[in-house]
Amino acid sequence: MRLTNRKKKLLYRSAAALLALSSGALGAAHAQQSSGAPAPDGEAASDIQKVVVTARRREESLQDVPVSVTAFSADQLSKQGVPDVTALALALPNTTLKASRATNSTLTAFIRGVGQADPLAGFESGVGIYIDDIYLARPQAAVADIYDVERIEVLRGPQGTLYGRNTIGGAVKYVTRKLGSQPDVRLRATAGNYGQLDGVVTASTPLSDTVRIGGTVARFKRDGFGTNLYTGAENYDKDVTALRLSAEFTPTPELFIRIAGDGTKDDSNPKNGHRLTVGRTSGAPILSNEFDTRANLT
């Protein structure tokens, strides 16, 4: 009986070894056949869209930049319906971008826990905000509506080497669209609930081979989500008119000059807060609509 068991074990081991050898031979044959197939050419292998950023003050591919940076192209921003820079925080790790208390256009920005909690004139933010590489020294009017944009870059971590002080937390770069070499007119309209009606008109034309001019007019209008029960004014409404004019010169292929100016008129009501607890002395209740408010700030 013992001899029979040994024979069975030897038979099983021989069969397993034979199966392993045959599998290896089949794998080698398959690999040889696959290696004979033509490899994809360079264009097919690089179908991934190349994203160019200026995080290091020069144009580079996003994949080659050794900086923690997230770039949003104009196409991405348009498809996702991003209204202003505060909405970018929903797609960014360790980043807070929001309108400050009781304001519409003052920005509170934090990246990796560094920022400015209270946007007062005597305090400087740890997150730098740039529009076409022009530094916005104060957070007031830094909640920029997104229109006629080429891309937005968010750099996380200290950027003092290239961007100076006030960027220990990071930087947000708003890059407007360059003017084209052909006459161009673009119209964009958006309608939504709460009476939302937005419109953007952009036009540009070349004056010569080296000179181009263009401009954009934008109008953003929306009813409020709630009401200020003290004043009757709408809360969280939007009433913004914006204008941007620019002229570009390329006297040589190595030299690019842009002269630009923009202005914004914001007639929106202040975004007042929502009570989370019953007032200790006044007994003011918690309102059922979180967008309703009882604020005396007008």
Domains of the chain, by residue range, sit at 46-176, 179-298
Beta bridge partners of 141: none
Whole-structure pTM value? 0.75
d(CA 23, CA 18): 9
Q: How much is the pLDDT for 50?
A: 73
Q: How much is the pLDDT for 255?
A: 94
d(CA 54, CA 261): 21
Q: What is the mean pLDDT of residues 245-260?
A: 95
Position 1 pLDDT exceeds 50: no
Look at the domain 46-176 and name its fold: Ferric Hydroxamate Uptake Protein; Chain A, domain 1 (2.170.130)
What percent of the chain is predicted at pLDDT more than 70? 83
d(CA 148, CA 98): 21
Tens-digit pLDDT profile for residues 188-236: 999 999 999 999 999 999 999 999 999 999 999 999 999 998 889 999 9
DSSP calls for the chain: -HHHHHHHHHHHHHHHHHHHHHHHHHHHHHHHHHHTSPPP-HHHHT-SPP-EE-TTSS-EEGGG--S-EEEEEHHHHHHHT--BGGGGGGGSTTEEEEEPTT-SS-EEEEETTEE-SS--TT---SEEEEETTEE-SSSTT---B--SEEEEEEEES--HHHH-SS-SSEEEEEEEPPPPSS-EEEEEEEEETTTEEEEEEEEEEESSSSEEEEEEEEEEEE--SEEBTTT--EES-EEEEEEEEEEEEEEETTEEEEEEEEEEEE-PPP------S--TTT-PPPPSSTT-B-----
Q: What is the mean pLDDT of residues 173-187?
A: 95
d(CA 270, CA 228): 10
Tens-digit pLDDT profile for residues 55-76: 887 888 888 788 889 999 999 9
Q: How much is the pLDDT for 271?
A: 85
Beta bridge partners of 96: 110
